[in-house]
Structure formats: C-alpha cells, structure tokens
Structure 1
C-alpha cells in the first residue's frame, strides 16, 4: 500500500480523469464524425454515448462508495461478481487495451509533426517509430522515479492542454454560420440512414470516454474514498461538454465533405481553414502537450492495473513488486515492452491511428460490461443497501442502462473488432495459467473452459481472417 505522502486529493483524482479522457481522441473528432454523419447524427450519437457513459460513471461512483474494499475497481468488480477467470479477462483486456491506446497517442503525435516535417508521414514511418520509441523509454524512466511526481506533472499538463481546446471552441463560435450548419444537418452526400451514420461513430465515442474510470483505478491512493466518485462525475461532465462542442462547431464553419477530407489531427486543420496557418500550429502544440499528458496518465494506469491484478493473485507474482519509489516497476516494464512492440507493428498498418483507436475501444468494452453487470447484480439483490436503501431503485436503473449501452457498443463495433480482441485474449490467458500454477490452483472451472474455448475459436477465426485478407488492419 502507498504511504501517506502518496495520497491524492480530489483535485488530483479529477485531473487523472480529465487527463485520461482528454488525449488523442478529442483532436480527431471533427474528421471522424464528418466521415460518418452530419450534425443531426452527431447529436444523437452524443446523446447515446453521453447517457450511457454517464450511467457507467454513476455505477463507478456507486461501487466506489458501496464496495470500498475493491481497489482498482475495473477488474476487481468482474472478479467479485463473476469469478477468477472473468476477473482476469477484465484485467487483461483493460490493461492491453490501455497499451494499445498508448500506441495511438504516439501515432497521432508523429502524424501531427508530419504536417510540418514530411519525414514523419502519417505517424508510421521508420523515423516516426524510432522517435516514438525514444519517447516511450524517456517516460518509462521518469515514472520509475515515483508516482506522486508523475501525478503532479499530470495535474499541471491537464490545465495546460485545456487552453488550446477552449481557444478552438471560442474561435469556431465566432465563425458560426447557420446556413452551413443547416446544409450539413443530415450529412449530405453520405450513404445510409441516420441509424447507420450513428452506428459508425460509436467506437469513437467509446475511445474519447476512456479514462472515465481513472479515479477508480487509483482509488487506493485517494485521501478520502468519497472523492473517487465525485472526481469521476466532475471529470465526466467537464470533458463531455468540450467534446460535444469540438464535434459540432466545425459543421457551422465548413462543408462536411471538406472536414471529412482533412488529415488528422483534424482539429488543427479546421482551425487553419478558419483563421489561417497559425491556427494549425497553435492546435498542434496543444495536441502534443495534451497527448503527452494523456500518455503519462495511461502509462500510470497500465502499470497500476497489472500491479493490482498481481497483488490479488490474478496475474503472476513478479508483477506485484515495487521499486524503492513505490512504483510497480515490473508491471511498468512489461507494459512498455508491449507498447514498444505495437509501435513497431504500426509500420504495416494502412491507417494506424484508426486501427489503434477502434481496437482500444473494443478491448475496453468487456471490462466496462463487467462493471455495469456487477453494479446491476448488487443492486438487484440489495447487497450493501442496508445503508441508504432508498438509493437501490435509482442504482438499479442506472446499472441497467449501462449494461444495455455497453452491449450495444459491442454490437455497433462489429465482428471484426470482436475477432481481433479474441486474438489478444486467447494467448493472454497464458498469464492466467502462469498465476494459477504459482498458487497450485485448478486453472479452469467448467464455465471457464467454455469461455476460454470461445476465445480460442474467435482467435483462430481472427488469425485466419488476417492471413487471408478478410480482416484488414
């Protein structure tokens, strides 16, 4: 456990939520949404995503208060509600998804630089990969010096990176043209109805909301347990407002088709079109600060999830060791080795940023589903509701909506990303087998065997699809 001087205030916990959520995704929203839909579809998408993620945030808040003994809640809830192997899958999925998300940050940074220095291309050239690799290990050794120091840096960066986003919103608000907004309303030129347009945005909305659980992951460092839930809600409300404005305002300044054709980060390209070249430079600098801050937050989260899973014997014991600065060093090493390998693979991807964005979202949905289902389970059977029983109906409704939302997100993502997720889940189970052998425990129950076999079949189909070109990356 952390010593007293490692404890985080509500403000620092909120900064972890904001720092995790405001990263690469928000800077890619204009083009990503314009490729899929117009303002009407965007409003519907944000209503669905905002409602679903708000309910999920409230489930996190409720569980943080009612199950204070479950630290690093993302996977701890899955284990408590559904057993050891589902708990492991939740921990592994959240951890590997976070690693993939960290890769997307490096790709976007290099793509941003590519607008000014062609040698970086779209973020997946050899030079881009080498520079990203240097960055990975610079952050690695900084974090090894101490979590409190890194958390303080994250708080400072969180404030710094919000400023360019606010400037973007203000300038676009002054450039608002109602006739353009009306012309773009139904996504003119796009095929398919509103439902298909909205569905095409769903994985993106999941990606930009990742980090909503940042305070929950760091619950063991909170000065006051109640601060975990409050930080989650505060961070969610603030960031959601920013993301909706960043998505909607470009439709009132430019034609949808023009926005859809811009390179990423499209927020920079939009501002350049409105105010000139300095706008692209301004947003690009803000993006690099933002993404580096988000990368720091998610590097901390990656190591913390793996470390806590090892502490509860869901991962091999080697990852439960801390260095003299109380940093989970072995967990951090494995996380960054995975990030390094994934950065190298981006060289072979047609659209590395989009692939990493969607795969990160797909990997996060299983852990989120377990959290929502566990919230539903304890409210349904009135567990812990001896205290404040009047909250049970409210919590049951919120958890039910969160379950429906996460199931819909998995459906909206499509079969491709389910199969790609299985390609990671099946071999990842080797870590679970290792941990169970260390403890001389039976590896699988009958139910666990069924889950494992489903993952293996999905992985085989996914690998076959990659080999034959049916699934493209």
Structure 2
C-alpha cells in the first residue's frame, strides 16, 4: 500500500497554499503496491456496485409503498437519481482534475474548505458507513427471523448477539489483506445482483395491470404529492450510498481515469435496477398490503407472485448481498480513516498498517463503532428505520462539501467551455444534495450533530501531536455550530421532543 501523499489545504478564495508542516511522526508501517496489486476498472466498478447494492434494495417495495404510489415513486427516483447523477459526475470530474487527492469525499472537503471541515467530512463519512453496516445486520437477522422467531425484526438480544459474531468475523477476514477482500467483493457482487435482476424479470411476467393502475396515484392519507416524494427521499439516499466507492479507493487504482468511469458506470447500472425493483412491485400487490409486509419486503412481493420459493430466493439473495456490501463499506470506511491519519488530520495511531497493507487500527475503530450502534438499536422503536435515516443524514454532509468543492474547482476554469459545463453540474449537485439533506428532516440532523461534535477530540489529538494551534478563527465558528447542534439534539432527546 503506497504511503498517501501529503495533501494541501486551500481556504476559499485564497492563493495557492504553501506546504503543510509534516506530521510529527511517520506511519508505523508503509507498504508499496506493486503494479499487479493495483485495482482495475472492473474491480473498481464492482466496488461501486457492491457498496450500493446492499440491504436497501430489498426493502424498497415496503418503504415506497408506505409513502407513495407509482407517480410519486417515479418522481422520487427522478429527483434523487438526478441529484446523485450530478454527484457521480462531480466525482468523475474531480478524479481527473485533482488526481493528487486521495480518499474521495474527505480529501475534497479538506482541499476546498480547510482541515477542520475536511476532518468532519472524513469522520462523518466513516460514521455513516458504520451505522449503515448496522442496518445491514438488522435486515439480515430480520430475514432469518422468518424461520427463527427469536430474531424478531432483527432487533432482539439474540439478533444483536449473532450480529456481533458477524461483525468480528468480517474484521478477521479483512485483516488478512486488502487484495483478498477486494477480490471476494468482486465475486460476491456478481452473485448478489443475479437474484435482484431475477426478481425484476419475474415481477414483470406476473404484473397485473389493474393492480398497477390502482396503485398509480397512491392513497389519500399519504398527503400531497410533494410530501409523498419527500418521505421517500431518505430511502433513495440510503440505497445510493456507495456511489463514491471507486473515489474513496482511488489511490489503489491502476489508472486514474478508471476511477471516474467506474463511478459513472456503476451508478447508472444500479439506478436502473433500483427504480425497476420499486415500480414493478406496484403491479403485484395493492400498495396497502405491500406496506404491511415483513422485512425484507421484496421477498413478500415475490412470494405473493410465484409462491414460497420466491421468498426463499430473495432471502438467500439478501444474505449474499448484505455480506458483500458490508465488506465493501468496511473497506472504504477504514481507508478514509487511514488516509486522514496519514495526512495528519487524525491521530497518528490510525496510521498503523499490516505488512499486507491493511489499516488495522482504522479497521478496528470501524468495527467498534458499528458494535456500539448495534447496541443502541436495541432501544430504538424501529431499528432499521433509525439506522437508515441516520446513515443518510451523516453521509449527506460529506457529499455536500464534495459537491461545493467541485463548484469551486470548476469556477476556476469557467473561462473554458468545459469549465462552464462542469460548473453547472457542480452547482446542480450542490443544490440537490442540500435538498436531500433538508428532506432527511431536522430530527436526524440533530442526532448527527450529537455524533459529529464529540469527534472533535480526535482532531484536537492530531493537532497536539503536531504541536500546532488547535483551532483557527474560522474553525472556532464551525466548532461552535457543531457543539450547539449537539446540545440542542441532546436536549431534544432528553425532553422527548424527538426519539430514536
């Protein structure tokens, strides 16, 4: 694993920065990737698809049917798909325009808006992955719970105990080596996409046009079309998480241009699959019945169409899908912490890597946070919904900062024709991401602050290790906002204004 390059920090509107003082200590281990160890375009594309096609797709029928009908679903996919497409294009452009920046969304936020917001981006992205991994285990336990009632909806003590075994089992697998884990992910990606595609084909064969027409406008109690669409957006955000998979792992790419191409190809492929799964489900059952299905709802839809074997097929596909996505997300989470530590923005203890190139301490922290969130879900009213919405809220802040940085880069190239187009795309990505953050709702934004604010301790540790000033004037403002948000969120939870 090549040692990460030191990345410069630019303040908005500033002149080209001078080199940042080197961190006080070097990584304990620095391993170089040989050319044969570099990731190719198919592997990078598989990481994008593998990280996006996970638990979310199997819950889409119920999640959408709870909020809207066919018309609202089409609009929701159009809005979310367009916004995330802009983000995918932004990541593709940044991979080409700033090849010196590794670890994707973290590096872009830092280069555009300073070290503290870069730190928040790295931590927020990492935390969102950890929470998302918990959603995976909740859903897989809910699936097995159809034959083992003790697991319930994936939120019982027995389910948490088995999920814990899974968490640490994957820790040991990934610790064996990055190359081995990435190869397993490529194989699993192919295996898990097949049942999803088969679901779409079978649902089309059994589609009832009368049922589909009855589900077109939704139900009267669902509210206005705007409210229906807004209610589905957090779900679409969750299933799109992972679009940055190739960008996060960019420093291992065999060719830099493969990063952008893999991002775009992976996103478009997955968008078509996700939208198809949602829409065809409306032609199998009335939406009121879909909304009452047990998780994973895709299994209930297919079982209604073809019989018991359909539910079994989806259940097996979900288990494979979740395990593959969990692998990809854990790899990306550890990578972000590792590169941030290499760059001096996280404490130096996170720079430790094994001889096989595995950032073992970053991987350990990832597993520990997932374990903590898994315990918290035992006290949530709806464990899966809690994990899903919190993941979306945490991840949208890094996405927003990356899109804003792309607008800044494009603005510096606006005198060129290509630069103007890139500026338009970057601005659209920024606006769409901000809207998705608004759609997530204030409740989970406040809970996100509770997660973000204490993380500043890691930033302070890194600054002290380097003998640097803890906060600049601008950084103090960001600190004050995060602490105020965390205080308000804690107060809201304590007084019962919001609940998990």
Distance 1:11 1:187 in 2: 40
Runs of 4+ in 1 over 2 A off after TM superposition: none
Between the aligned partners of 1:190 and 1:29, the Cα distance in structure 2 is 20
Are 1:16 and 2:43 matched, yes or no? Answer: no
2:443 is the counterpart of 1:431: no
1:159 to partner: Cα distance: 0.3
User: Are 2:470 and 1:443 equivalent residues in the alignment?
Assistant: yes
Q: Distance in 1 between matches of 2:194 and 2:334?
A: 29
Alignment of 1:230-269 (within 5 A): 230-269=261-300
The residue aligned with 1:410 is 437
Q: 2:485 aligns with which of 435, 454, 458?
A: 458
Preserved CA contact (<8 Å) 1:37 1:197: yes
Q: Distance in 1 between matches of 2:234 and 2:471?
A: 32
CA contact (8 A) 1:79 1:86 kept: yes
Q: Decide whether the 8 Å contact of 1:207 with 1:357 is kept in 2.
A: yes
SS in structure 2 at match of 1:200: helix
Q: Which residue of 2 aligns with 1:3?
A: 33
User: Which residue is 2:74 aligned to?
Assistant: 43
The within-5 A match list for 1:116-195 is 116-195=147-226
Question: Shift in Å at residue 178 of structure 1?
Answer: 1.7
Tell me how far apart the structure 1 counterparts of residues 144 and 129 of structure 2 sit (CA, whole Å): 23
The equivalent of 1:319 in structure 2 is 350
Superposed CA deviations along residues 447-467 of structure 1, whole A, max 9, x for unmatched, are 111111111111111111112
**Where does residue 497 of structure 2 map in the other structure?**
470
Q: Which of 41, 52, 56 is equivalent to 1:25?
A: 56
Name the CA distance, whole Å, in 2 between partners of 1:96 and 1:339: 9
5 Å-filtered alignment, 1:260-299, equals 260-299=291-330
Q: Which residue of 2 aligns with 1:78?
A: 109
* Structure 1 residue aligned with 2:28: none
Structure 1 SS opposite 2:222? coil
Does structure 1 retain, via aligned residues, the 8 Å contact 2:377–2:386?
no
Shift of 1:190: 2.8
**2:230 & 2:378 partners in 1: Cα distance?**
29
Q: Is it true that 1:199 corresponds to 2:230 in the alignment?
A: yes
Deviation at 1:417, TM superposition (A): 1.0
TM-score, length-scaled by structure 2: 0.93
User: Contact (CA 8 Å) 1:36, 1:190: kept in 2 or not?
Assistant: no
Aligned counterparts of 1:286 and 1:378: Cα–Cα separation in 2: 42
Structure 1 position 394 matched with structure 2 position 411: no
Could you tell me how far apart the structure 1 residues matched to 2:264 and 2:79 are? 17
Greater fraction of residues in helix? 1
**Does structure 2 retain, via aligned residues, the 8 Å contact 1:37–1:190?**
no
CA contact (8 A) 1:64 1:229 kept: yes
**2:419 paired with 1:365:** no
User: Quick one: distance in 2 between partners of 1:219 and 1:410?
Assistant: 26
Q: Which runs of 5+ in 2 are unaligned?
A: 3-31
Aligned-partner Cα distance in 2 for 1:472–1:344: 16
Per the TM alignment, residue 6 of structure 1 is displaced from its structure 2 partner at its CA by 2.4
- Determine helix, strand or coil for the equivalent of 1:333: helix
Could you tell me how far apart the structure 1 residues matched to 2:379 and 2:439 are? 26
What SS is found at the alignment partner of 2:354?
A: coil
For 1:81-104, what per-residue CA distance to the aligned partner results, in whole angstroms no more than 9, with x for missing partners? Answer: 000101000001000111000111
Cα deviation code 1:376-402 (max 9, x no counterpart): 01111228x8xxx43111111110110
Question: Residue 293 of structure 2: SS of its match in structure 1?
Answer: coil
Alpha-carbon separation, structure 1, partners of 2:92 and 2:405: 13
C-alpha root-mean-square deviation of aligned residues, in Å? 1.0
Do 2:68 and 2:222's aligned partners in 1 also have CA atoms closer than 8 Å?
Answer: no
Give the C-alpha shift of residue 191 in structure 1: 3.0
Q: TM-score, normalised by structure 1?
A: 0.98
- Is residue 2:250 matched to residue 1:223? no
**1:359 CA displacement:** 0.4
Whole-angstrom distance in 1 between the partners of 2:106 and 2:432: 19
- How far the C-alpha of 1:220 sits from its partner, in A, is 0.4
Deviations 1:177-236 (A, max 9, x none): 222111111112433110000000111111000000000001000000000000001100
* Aligned twin of 1:382: 413
Name the CA distance, whole Å, in 1 between partners of 2:345 and 2:37: 25
CA distance in 1, matches of 2:404, 2:318: 35
Q: The residue matched to 2:221 in structure 1 has which SS?
A: coil
Aligned mates of 1:208, 1:128 — CA distance in 2: 23
